[in-house]
Amino acid sequence: MLTRREALLAGAGWLATRAGANAGVPAGATVGEEVLGALPGKKALIQRAFRPPNFETPLADLQPIYTGNSVFFVRYHLANIPYVDAAAWRLDVGGPSAQHPLALSLRELKGNFEHVSINAVNQCSGNRRGLFAPRVPGVQWGNGAMGHALWAGVRLRDVLHKAGVAADALEVVFNGADGPLLPGTPDFVKSVPIDRALDENTLIAFEMNGAPLPHWNGAPARLVVPGWTGTYWVKHLTEIRIQPAAFDGFWMKSAYRIPTGAFATARFASQETPETTPITEMVVNSLITSPAPATHLRRGEPARLAGKAWDAGAGIESVEVSLDGRQSWRPAKLGRNLGRFAWREFELPLDTSRSGPIEVAVRARSRNGSTQPEKLTPNPAGYHDNIVQTARVEVS
Amino acid sequence: MRGARYPLAVLFAVVGAAAAPAMSALAAAAEPTELREGAGRDLTVGRCIICHSVEYIPSNAPAMNRAAWQKSIQKMKEKFGAPITDEEAKQILDYLDANYSGKTG
């Protein structure tokens, strides 16, 4: 039976229910009470914040190799989020280092450039922030501020070349239709280095998983920067500026930064200071999707460990699993290689012939030689939690 | 097609409800607005929900102490342009520290 509150929620087009404890969070870790909420056009997701909307994909929905559009995570910084009219939409491409500024309709974007598609992981910089110890402020994400999709669109570089990239171009700046509620709040605007903007894998995407981008994932067109964290994947793109100087907006200079030198990821030299530098690439990582946390297996029941591994684009070399509390490690079987920016599935049968706990640990290794560490690298914003993944499975 | 900026509609509904505490049960239907009872609560809710729903406060409590709340309020005021006077900032800090400082160690 619906309570009065639930009836009101349903009437308002929203659904909210109490989720089972710890859904989507590894055994032994909690992010606090979880509430499920459904945004218009989305299925129920873990509601980390209502406004601006920050909704996380539940673990069960991270099991398929492609994360469905209706369950793909939603992340906004600012609450003024217009429904963009695709017919009236224009993308302005200009800036001081653009030789022939232009404006494109969606029809022109789709019609005038070669179509390309790429499998890529989109992971929020703050994914797993809620699992940090000691805790750090920010949206308290569990494991589901990420997903994997087939992104389709056009190469950013083809559009930039049409606008004419001058020799002095240093950064390319991206703005979207979403914005602040107060005039004093800095608009969400991001930049990437010119070489990343001109990389053949960086796209202006208008489709994910074969369907138009959902509103909450950036319709009608968004940036896709494979290998780099979600903060650069600007949604509802409206403006692209090629410029000869470092962009000095709040979301580059003050937010999304890590201690300089703390991680072996790509540098963003034009934005670097001796103390801090922008987060850039993802670090090698994995997620156990099965068994779900707190699963009890019956003795003799066939069971398998399964999950996903990913990195910033070198590709996954191997996934090692320990089933005895890290005393010995063995390779998991890897799934099909869907591209170097894609999720790589892994699996291993679990021996359920004896009663008792199985202490599972998983570590992925990138082709660049990096592997998942045992300990977190402390950083104030709670980024890059890629520690060895663990689970405790009870057999009885 | 849809020209309406729907989050604004939600915002107005909530601002209206928050101004009248008797209606807070209704406001909760649209978005979470409940914070712990205590001196400064209505001011805190009233200022914070201009830009964001208030569940950011309890969800961040385990990471916060008085110094962290002070930094957070200062950021909202100076970097995000939140309309909060110095006197209000002090009352909001006292309220948040008394009710949502959960950081240990």
Cβ burial of A279 (10 Å; 0-12, 13-18, 19+) is buried
Q: CA nearest A147: which of A54, A81, A56? A: A56
Query: Cβ B8–A80 below 8 Å, yes or no?
Result: yes
| pLDDT > 90? residue A35 | no
Average pLDDT for residues A248-261, to the nearest whole number? 98
| pLDDT > 80? residue A15 | no
Q: Give the minimum alpha-carbon distance from B58 to chain A in angstroms, rounded to a whole number.
A: 10
Q: Do the Cβ atoms of A270 and A170 come closer than 8 Å?
A: yes
Residue A205: what pLDDT?
98
| Among the partner residues B8, B32, B80, nearest to A185 by beta-carbon distance | B80
DSSP strands (E only) in A159-210: 171-176, 189-193, 203-208
CA dist list (Å): B51 to B8, B69, B95: 10, 17, 19
Residue A298: what pLDDT?
96
A30-34, A114-118, A353-357, B43-47: range with lowest mean pLDDT: A30-34
Kindly report, residue by residue over A116-163, the tens digit of the pLDDT. 999 999 999 999 999 999 999 999 999 999 999 999 999 999 999 999
Residue B34: what pLDDT?
87
Count of residues making up chain B: 105
Residue B32: what pLDDT?
79
Q: Do the Cβ atoms of B25 and A5 come closer than 8 Å?
A: yes
CA dist list (Å): A51 to A35, A55, A169, A216, B75: 14, 10, 36, 13, 18
Q: What tokens appear for B45 in the block?
A: 């809710």
Report the residue of B5, B60, B75 to disrupt the A interface, i.e. the one with the largest count of A CBs within 10 Å: B60
The domain locations on chain A are 4-75, 90-278, 285-395
CB of A390 within 8 Å of a chain B CB? The answer is no
Determine the Cα–Cα distance for residues A345 and A90; give it in Å rounded to an integer: 38
Kindly report, residue by residue over A46-84, the tens digit of the pLDDT. 999 999 999 999 999 999 999 999 999 999 999 999 999
Residue A101: what pLDDT?
98
Kindly report, residue by residue over A260-299, the tens digit of the pLDDT. 999 999 999 999 999 999 999 999 999 999 999 889 999 9
Amino acid in position A235: K
Tell me, what's the ipTM? 0.88
| pLDDT > 90? residue A1 | no
Domain A285-395: CATH architecture, name and number where available: Sandwich (2.60)
Containing A92, the helix (H) or strand (E) segment is strand A90-94
Kindly report, residue by residue over A375-396, the tens digit of the pLDDT. 999 999 999 999 999 999 999 9
Q: What tokens appear for A91 in the block?
A: 């993308």
Residue B104: what pLDDT?
81
Q: Do the Cβ atoms of A127 and A143 come closer than 8 Å?
A: yes
Residue B21: what pLDDT?
34
Kindly report, residue by residue over A327-340, the tens digit of the pLDDT. 999 999 999 999 99
CATH class of A90-278: alpha beta
| pLDDT > 80? residue B19 | no
Count of residues making up chain A: 396
| pLDDT > 70? residue B9 | no
Residues 6+ apart with CB under 8 A from A161: none
| Among the partner residues A5, A49, A82, nearest to B55 by beta-carbon distance | A49
First to last CA, chain A: 36
Determine the Cα–Cα distance for residues A379 and A395; give it in Å rounded to an integer: 37
- For residues A34 and A165, the model is more confident at A165
| Among the partner residues B52, B83, B105, nearest to A49 by beta-carbon distance | B52
Residue A17: what pLDDT?
32
Residue A135's closest chain B neighbor by CA?
B63
Residue A29: what pLDDT?
42
Residues 6+ apart with CB under 8 A from A275: A259, A260
Average pLDDT for residues A183-187, to the nearest whole number? 97
Report the residue of A25, A51, A55 to disrupt the B interface, i.e. the one with the largest count of B CBs within 10 Å: A51
Query: Cβ A135–B81 below 8 Å, yes or no?
Result: no
Query: Cβ B5–A83 below 8 Å, yes or no?
Result: yes
Query: Cβ A82–B5 below 8 Å, yes or no?
Result: yes
- What percent of chain A is predicted at pLDDT more than 70? 92
Kindly report, residue by residue over B52-95, the tens digit of the pLDDT. 999 999 999 999 999 999 999 999 999 999 999 999 999 999 99
Beta bridge partners of A360: A391
Residue A135: what pLDDT?
95
CA dist list (Å): A143 to A120, A173, B6: 17, 29, 28
| pLDDT > 50? residue B22 | no
| pLDDT > 70? residue A304 | yes
Three-class SS state of A60: helix
Residue A32: what pLDDT?
61
Domains annotated for chain B, with CATH where assigned, are: 6-100 (1.10.760.10)
Q: Which of residues 45-104 of A touch B (CB under 8 A)?
A: 48-53, 78-83, 85
